[in-house]
């Protein structure tokens, strides 16, 4: 083996360090990266850790990488005061764009207006006030919860051959959650049309507890013909809850997870509604970038709402929990 | 003065009789004694019940552990990830319990060595452990599909009795022996009721408390293992609020918040009562969306009744 002299070693160390410094300061070769990065605060309304947000975050981070955006992801812990503080901090930091979940009507209207008045671009994603133009947000990227609720309810009526006088339960992880309220409103509207009664059930985000509550409900109301979970946890435990209650209602719900897809493929669940989570993260970052750089106005994009059943679940399986 | 446990047992017994009679009179409207419902209760009670056993022992020593909900979640992730990495399932169980015990010991040492209220020390641990779960999980759910022997042992049934309930009763008996029949158990009560006296008679109160913290964490981990074996999956957001529910179970069971008083039987009855209330409300078709309102109100009434009867009997 060739012996390296001390000088050579020093020279290679310096050369290596210089390369490292260059690599860390030089952009990755693209013209975009040579420009100053666009700063965006991306506010998720729950606490960190909810698996639903993984594809959303992946989308936001990939868009940030693609476009040269510096994205700061923050969590509001389901606290409107904290979320308002996060928006105000973003305004004070003079970021160029804010993407946020408008999960509580009227709670963030004033600060969204304040951000716009300060020249900051604002886009809402995942959840928005259902009243048109309720805030000064420039666009909304997300599911139309009401329409999605109607869609899954109709699918369940068809799959379960539900008739006038039948009963349906809709468990939800958090009774205050806006997604649950709006999705249930859509479900109820579709079921009411068919003369089918329905009720929401406060389950819990803890899987074992949610499963027990749904089972207990089904034992108390064995005439329940369908279970429609309003979120991913209650949808995922639905089949097992029915099995433990020794009843066989048709089961469906919202969102995607590996467990939900497996249940659909094995025939234990009829269908779920895709929320288009990846685009919920990707599109706001892209639109904020183009607005800040070139003044291209953001535009609302209704995403998600695709019914996933046995016919298309295999396609989704590979990417459930990451891109789907 | 009559012991609170007598009242709560009476209350539980009377409720059982009412429910059983009502169920026999109206079998199609109130399915309380149906095999399915009994099976459900026997599977549901143990998770909170086992956590409450640990929390209860700690409460007897006059301390609290707010990190048990996080440890419960961490245990699910720990066993699933270790098993997924190829570790034999029993080794994964052992490692998970060791991790939980280490967390409990750390909680105990921080509390006693730095003289920090356990409420604060374990609140910190609650957040740290929850953070570790998020880091481990990267926000994703985890699946746990052990072999059938392991599943059956933890979640199957023996002669018609659900295995989780058998585990719960076995652990309750062990805890009962430890708390009511051993020297260490006496130390738990003395340290919780009169710590200065305990120290004066030569009891190492720090050691006693650290052991109690370790037991609380171990109980939470056992519940976490039972839970993920039953459900087959876990989410990082689960377990939030279990610590307060466990404290509520202990208070319903007659344990004093100030420490030094309480029985293991009280904890068992408290856990059964907690789930029974939920179960009866759902069977009676109470509005499911507002269930917690009813559960909360009934539990407060149960504690008031218990306290009132205890005071009345003491006059």
Identify the top-confidence range among A78-87, A152-161, B153-162: A152-161
B59 domain-assigned: yes
Q: Give B-chain residues touching A213 at CB under 8 angstroms.
A: 278, 282, 288, 291
For B233, the closest of A207, A215, A222 (CB atoms) is: A207
| pLDDT for the residue numbered A24 | 43
- Dihedral sign for Cα A251, A252, A258, A264, please: positive
Q: The whole model's pTM is what?
A: 0.79
Residue A13: predicted pLDDT: 44
Q: Is A229 left (phi over 0), alpha (psi -120 to 50) or beta?
A: beta
Mean pLDDT of A228-232: 94
How does pLDDT run across A186-221, given as a tens digit for each residue?
Answer: 999 999 999 999 999 988 888 888 999 999 999 999
Q: What is the CATH number of the domain that holds A100?
A: 3.40.50.2300
Residue of A200 and B29 predicted with greater confidence: A200
Please give the Cα distance from A257 to A260 (Å, whole number). Answer: 5
Q: What residues of A are in contact with residue B278 (Cβ under 8 Å)?
A: 213, 216
List of chain B residues whose C-beta atoms are within 8 Å of the C-beta of residue A321: 140-141
Report, as an integer, the average pLDDT of A170-180. Answer: 86
Q: Over range B165-186, report the average pLDDT.
A: 96
Average of per-residue pLDDT across B88-112: 97
**Closest residue to A51, CB basis, from B40, B140, B292:** B140
The verdict on ipTM greater than 0.90 is: no
At residue B199, the pLDDT reads 94
More confident residue, A47 or A200: A200
Q: Assess whether A119 and A179 both reside in one domain.
A: no
Residues A253 and A184 in one domain: yes
For residue A39, being part of any structural domain is answered with: yes
Both A138 and A151 in one domain: the answer is no
Task: Kindly report, residue by residue over A94-136, the tens digit of the pLDDT.
Answer: 999 999 999 887 889 999 999 999 999 999 999 888 787 889 9
Measure B252 CA to nearest chain A CA, in Å.
20
Query: Do A149 and A270 have their domain in common?
Result: yes
CB contact under 8 A, A199 and B130: no
And the tokens for B133?
């779960």
What is the Cα–Cα distance from A308 to A13, expressed in whole angstroms?
Answer: 56
Percent of chain A topping pLDDT 70: 88
Across the beta sheet with A121-125, the strand order is A69-75, A38-44, A97-100, A121-125, A139-142, A301-302
Q: What percent of chain A stands above pLDDT 90?
A: 63
Residue B181: pLDDT over 60: yes
Interchain CB distance below 8 Å, B44 and A208: yes
Residue B95 lies in a domain: yes
Mutate to test the interface with B, among A173, A188, A218, A220 (most CBs of B within 10 A): A220
Q: For residue A162, is it within any domain?
A: yes
Cβ contacts of A117 within 8 Å, gap of 6 or more: none
Q: In Å, how far is A201's CA from the nearest CA of chain B?
A: 4
Per-residue pLDDT at A2 exceeds 50? no
> Which residue range(s) make up the domain with B242?
4-8+35-314
pLDDT digits over A242-299, tens only?
A: 999 999 999 999 988 888 999 999 999 999 999 888 999 999 999 999 999 999 999 9
Same-domain check for residues A139 and A280:
yes
Residues A155 and A268 in one domain: yes
Query: A6 pLDDT band (50/70/90 cuts)?
Result: very low
More confident residue, A6 or A57: A57
CB-based contact B283 A216, cutoff 8 Å: yes
Angle between helices B148-155 and B163-181 (to 10 degrees): 60
Q: What kind and span of H or E run contains B168?
A: helix B163-181
Tell me if B26 is assigned to some domain: no
Residue B210's CATH number: 1.10.3470
CA of B213 vs chain A CAs: smallest distance (Å):
24
Q: Are residues A174 and A123 part of one domain? A: no
Q: Which of A243, A232, A126, A119 is nearest to A178 (CA)?
A: A126
Number of domains within chain B: 1
If you count DSSP H runs as helices and E runs as strands, how many of each does chain B have, helices first? 13, 4
Task: Decide which of B140 and B96 is more confident.
Answer: B96
pLDDT band for position B314 (50/70/90)? low
CA A308/CA A155 separation, integer angstroms = 10
A contacts of B238 (beta carbons < 8 Å): 205-208, 233
Identify the pLDDT of residue A134: 86
Structural domain count, chain A: 2
CA angle B79, B81, B83 (to 5 degrees): 65
Q: How far apart are CA B156 and CA B45, in angstroms?
A: 15
Residues of B in contact with A243 (CB under 8 A): none
A250 is a domain residue: yes
Query: Do B108 and B254 contact (CB within 8 A), yes or no?
Result: no
Q: Which two tokens stand for residue A185?
A: 């409103």
Q: What is the mean pLDDT of chain B?
A: 91
**Whether A205 and B237 lie within 8 Å, measured CB to CB:** yes
pLDDT band at A35 (very low <50, low <70, confident <90, very high): low
Whether residue A210 lies inside any domain: the answer is: yes
Q: Which of B212, B172, B237 is nearest to B60 (CA)?
A: B212
Residue A134 belongs to a domain: yes
Q: What crossing angle do the helices spanning B242-252 and B291-314 adopt, rounded to 10°?
A: 30
Residues of B within 8 A of A51 (CB-CB) are 137, 139-141, 235-237
* Chain B residue numbers touching A245 (CB-CB < 8 A): 36, 40
Q: Which residue of chain B is at minimal alpha-carbon distance from A175?
A: B289
How far is Cα B239 from Cα B72, in angstroms, rounded to an integer? 7
Place A21 in a pLDDT band, splitting at 50, 70 and 90.
Answer: very low
Relative to beta strand A197-202, strand A139-142 is unpaired
- Chain-wide mean pLDDT for chain A? 86
Residue B92 lies in a domain: yes
The pLDDT tens digits for B108-129 are: 999 999 999 999 999 999 999 9
Q: Is the pLDDT of residue A26 over 60?
A: no
CA B12/CA B41 separation, integer angstroms:
15
Chain A interface, best mutation among B44, B51, B279, B288, by max A CB count within 10 A = B288
Mean pLDDT check: name the lowest of A2-6, A289-293, B90-94, B169-173. Answer: A2-6
Return the DSSP state at A45. Answer: S
Mean pLDDT of A147-157: 95
In a domain, B14, yes or no: no
Q: What percent of chain B has pLDDT over 70?
A: 98
Does one domain contain both A163 and A238? yes
- Which tens digit of pLDDT belongs to each residue from B134-147? 888 877 788 899 99
Shared-domain flag, residues A204 and A235: yes
CA–CA distance, B86 with A79 (Å, rounded to integer): 40
Which residues span the domain enclosing A181? 145-274
Tell whether A208 and A297 lie within a shared domain.
no
Judgement on whether residues A173 and A163 belong to the same structural domain of the protein = yes
Q: What is the 3-class SS of A60-78, one letter each residue?
A: HHHHHHHHCEEEEEEECCC
* A227, containing H or E segment: strand A224-229
Residue B132 vs residue A321, higher pLDDT: B132
Task: Specify whether A178 is located in the same domain as A202.
Answer: yes
Q: Using a CB–CB cutoff of 8 Å, tell me whether A212 touches chain B.
A: yes
A219/B282 CB distance under 8 A: yes
Chain B interface, Cβ < 8 Å to A? 31, 34, 36-37, 39-40, 43-44, 47, 130, 133-134, 137-141, 143, 227, 230-242, 275, 278-279, 282-285, 287-292
Contact between B269 and B12 under an 8 Å Cβ cutoff? The reply is yes
Distance CA A108, CA A92 (A): 16
In a domain, B301, yes or no: yes
The mean per-residue pLDDT over the stretch B248-275 comes to: 91
Task: Please report whether residue A20 resides in a domain.
Answer: no
Give yes or no for residue A1 having a pLDDT over 60. no
Yes or no, beta carbons of B232 and A246 under 8 Å apart:
no
């Amino acid at each position: 083996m060739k012996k390296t002299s001390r000088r050579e070693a020093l020279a290679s160390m310096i050369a290596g360090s210089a390369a490292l410094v260059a690599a860390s300061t030089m952009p990755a070769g693209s013209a975009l990266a040579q420009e100053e990065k666009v700063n965006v605060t991306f506010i998720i309304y729950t606490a960190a850790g909810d698996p639903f947000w993984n594809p959303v975050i992946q989308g936001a981070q990939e868009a940030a990488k693609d476009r040269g955006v510096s994205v700061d992801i923050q969590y509001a812990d389901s606290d409107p005061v904290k979320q308002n503080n996060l928006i105000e901090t973003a305004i004070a930091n003079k970021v160029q764009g804010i993407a946020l979940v408008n999960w509580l009507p009227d709670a963030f209207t004033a600060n969204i207006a304040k951000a716009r008045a300060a020249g900051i671009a604002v886009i809402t994603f995942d959840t928005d006030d259902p009243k048109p133009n309720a805030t000064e947000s420039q666009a909304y990227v997300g599911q139309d919860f009401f329409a999605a609720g109607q869609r899954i309810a109709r699918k369940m009526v068809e799959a379960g051959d539900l008739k006038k006088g039948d009963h349906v339960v809709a468990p939800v992880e958090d009774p205050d959650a806006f997604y649950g309220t709006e999705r249930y409103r859509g479900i109820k509207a579709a079921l009411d049309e068919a003369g089918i009664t329905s009720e929401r059930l406060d389950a819990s985000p803890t899987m074992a507890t949610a499963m027990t509550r749904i089972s207990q409900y089904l034992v108390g109301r064995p005439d329940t013909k369908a279970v429609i979970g309003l979120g991913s946890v209650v949808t995922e435990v639905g089949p097992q809850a029915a099995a433990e209650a020794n009843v066989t209602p048709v089961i469906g719900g919202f969102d995607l997870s590996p467990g939900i897809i497996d249940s659909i493929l094995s025939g234990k669940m009829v269908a779920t509604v895709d929320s288009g989570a990846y685009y919920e993260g990707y599109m706001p970052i892209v639109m904020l970038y183009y607005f800040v750089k070139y003044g291209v106005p953001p535009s609302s994009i209704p995403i998600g709402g695709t019914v996933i059943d046995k016919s298309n679940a295999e396609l989704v399986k590979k990417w459930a929990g990451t891109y789907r | 003065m009559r012991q609170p446990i007598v009242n709560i047992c009476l209350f539980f017994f009377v409720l059982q009789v009412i429910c059983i009679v009502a169920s026999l009179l109206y079998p199609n409207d109130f399915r309380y004694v149906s095999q399915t419902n009994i099976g459900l209760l026997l599977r549901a009670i143990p998770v909170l019940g086992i956590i409450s056993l640990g929390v209860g022992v700690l409460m007897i020593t006059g301390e609290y552990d707010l990190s048990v909900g996080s440890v419960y979640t961490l245990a699910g992730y720990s066993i699933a990830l270790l098993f997924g990495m190829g570790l034999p399932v029993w080794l994964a169980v052992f490692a998970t319990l060791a991790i939980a015990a280490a967390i409990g010991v750390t909680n105990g040492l921080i509390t006693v060595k730095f003289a920090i209220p356990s409420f604060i020390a374990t609140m910190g641990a609650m957040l740290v452990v929850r953070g570790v779960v998020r880091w481990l999980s990267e926000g994703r759910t985890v699946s746990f599909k052990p072999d059938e022997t392991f599943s059956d042992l933890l979640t199957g049934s023996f002669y018609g009795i659900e295995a989780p309930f058998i585990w719960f009763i076995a652990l309750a008996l062990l805890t009962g022996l430890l708390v009511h029949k051993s020297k260490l158990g006496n130390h738990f009560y003395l340290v919780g009721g009169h710590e200065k006296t305990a120290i004066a008679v030569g009891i190492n109160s720090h050691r006693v408390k650290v052991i109690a913290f370790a037991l609380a964490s171990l109980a939470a981990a056992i519940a976490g293992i039972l839970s993920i074996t039953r459900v087959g999956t876990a989410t990082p957001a689960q377990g939030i609020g279990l610590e307060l529910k466990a404290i509520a179970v202990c208070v319903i069971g007659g344990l004093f918040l100030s420490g030094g008083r309480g029985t293991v039987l009280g904890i068992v009855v408290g856990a059964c009562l907690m789930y029974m209330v939920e179960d009866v409300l759902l069977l009676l078709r109470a509005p499911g969306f507002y269930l917690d309102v009813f559960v909360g109100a009934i539990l407060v009434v149960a504690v008031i009744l218990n306290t009132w009867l205890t005071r009345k009997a003491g006059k």
